[in-house]
Amino acid sequence: MSARAAVAAVALAAAIAFPLVSPNDYFTYVMALAFIYAIAAIGLNLILGYTGQLNLAHAGFMAIGAYALGILTVDYGVPFWLAFLASGLVAALAGLGAGLVSLRLKADYFAIFTLCVGIIIWLGIEKWDSLTHGVVGIIGIPAPAPIGPLRFDTTISKYYLVLVFLVLGLFVMDRIVHSILGRAFVAIRNGEGLAESLGIPLMRTKVTAFVLSTAYAGYAGALYAGFVQFIGPQIASETYAFDMIAFILVGGLGTLSGPVLGAIVLTWATQSLQFLQDYRLLVFGPLLILLVMFLPKGIVGTLRAQQARRAGRRATAARAEAAVAGTADKASAHA
């Protein structure tokens, strides 16, 4: 078993065991929320970390998924899992429309445009009372429906359901980023001109990344709605969008496990510092600045860089030893 597989197995075992050692349901509840945020952050990491496009409307697409599930189940009585499937598709379709327009812009202009898209989504949710219930939000969203004998009416059972979706999301993202399509995403991040010279269709590839990213956000939002069973317009606010960027920066930009680690660390930090909620940005802002200064690759990225340096030093030492041994052999042969 490789070191990467061993670490993944240990992390999965710890996640499975967590509710068994958790002192109460509140800790399990917070960890499940961290996993839901991690799913959304994994999607954002695809467009930001692998394709190099800063989407500031990601929280808006998560809200679209959450509201799609809430509206379909509460207002129209659609079965939960059918509504869940539709939620991700609705978010992906919204992402397709936004991506076709916004991805024609470059760098800062793209980021500013998506920030505007996120604000429009937030205002639309808040003001469109007849559809979204306005500032009141949607109350009484049903919990995930049973699957055969499996019921999801307790915090622990919903925790394990979220964990399954997180593992599935990581698996699918791993397949994507290690495919030809994933290499095309990275090529665009490294230089659009060079990627185009290699025959990569820029617009189509960037739109594909954007749609996949928003689908992750939509499904994360649907899970959030089914888990919390209440949603309000604040889920689409720019605070959530910047939180997801922080998850990626803390964990490691352009890494698979980085967004998960960042979501867990910052979600627990936020819960532990609730008494500073009014000064949250004043607390986390300087911390993020220090992180970018001293750990620009995030936790996972820094650990990988250190591992690569150690491996490089070992390889250099091995080559030096081989060269010395070869010289000694030649000297003895001449003697």
Tokens of 84: 């869940």
Q: What is the mean pLDDT of residues 221-237?
A: 93
Closest CA to 41 of 237, 190, 295, 257: 257
Task: Report pLDDT digits (tens) over 143-170.
Answer: 999 998 999 989 999 999 999 999 999 9
Residue 210 CA to residue 218 CA, distance in Å, equals 12
Q: For residue 82, what pLDDT band results from cuts at 50, 70 and 90?
A: very high
For the cut 60, the answer to whether the pLDDT of residue 335 exceeds it is no
* Average pLDDT of the chain to the nearest whole number: 88
Residue 104 CA to residue 102 CA, distance in Å, equals 5
First-to-last C-alpha distance (Å) of the chain: 46
Q: What is the mean pLDDT of residues 51-70?
A: 94
Task: Go through 225-247 and write b for each residue having 16 or more CB atoms within 10 A of its CB, e for each that does not.
Answer: bbbbbebbbebbbeebbbbbbbb
Q: For residue 333, what pLDDT band results from cuts at 50, 70 and 90?
A: low
What distance lies between CA 119 and its chain's CA centroid? 20
Residue 178: per-residue pLDDT: 92
Residue 278: per-residue pLDDT: 64
Q: What is the mean pLDDT of residues 64-68?
A: 96
Closest CA to 62 of 222, 206, 172: 222
Q: What is the mean pLDDT of residues 67-84?
A: 95
Q: For residue 214, what pLDDT band results from cuts at 50, 70 and 90?
A: very high
Residue 327: per-residue pLDDT: 64
CA–CA distances in Å: residue 284 to residues 57, 322, 323 = 21, 50, 51
Q: Which one is predicted more confidently, 208 or 280?
A: 208
- Residues paired with residue 147 on neighbouring β-strands, in sequence order: 150
Residue 330: per-residue pLDDT: 62
Residue 3: per-residue pLDDT: 72
Closest CA to 34 of 231, 300, 298, 227: 227
Q: For residue 237, what pLDDT band results from cuts at 50, 70 and 90?
A: confident
Q: Return the half-sphere exposure (C-beta side, CA atoms, 13 A cut-off) of residue 328.
A: 6
For the cut 70, the answer to whether the pLDDT of residue 241 exceeds it is yes
Residue 160 CA to residue 179 CA, distance in Å, equals 29
Residue 38: per-residue pLDDT: 96
Residue by residue, DSSP assigns 109-162 as HHHHHHHHHHHHHHHHHHH-HHHH-GGG-EE-PPPPPPBTTB---SHHHHHHHH
Q: What is the dihedral of CA 226, 228, 233, 235, to 10 degrees?
A: -90
Tokens of 52: 């190099």
Residue 286: per-residue pLDDT: 79
For the cut 90, the answer to whether the pLDDT of residue 323 exceeds it is no
Q: For residue 87, what pLDDT band results from cuts at 50, 70 and 90?
A: very high
Q: For residue 242, what pLDDT band results from cuts at 50, 70 and 90?
A: confident
Residue 334: per-residue pLDDT: 60
Task: Report pLDDT digits (tens) over 274-316.
Answer: 666 666 667 677 777 777 778 778 888 888 778 777 777 777 7
Q: For residue 5, what pLDDT band results from cuts at 50, 70 and 90?
A: confident
Structural domains in the chain, sorted by start: 23-296 (1.10.3470)
For the cut 80, the answer to whether the pLDDT of residue 328 exceeds it is no
The β-bridge relationship of strands 138-139 and 230-231 is antiparallel
Q: What is the mean pLDDT of residues 100-117?
A: 90
Q: To which H or E segment does residue 230 belong?
A: strand 230-231
Residue 37 CA to residue 113 CA, distance in Å, equals 23
Q: Which one is predicted more confidently, 197 or 281?
A: 197
Residue 55 CA to residue 110 CA, distance in Å, equals 8
Task: Report pLDDT digits (tens) over 7-45.
Answer: 889 999 999 999 999 888 999 999 999 999 999 999 999
Q: Which CB contacts under 8 angstroms, 24+ apart, belong to 148-155?
A: 155/25, 155/28, 155/29, 155/32
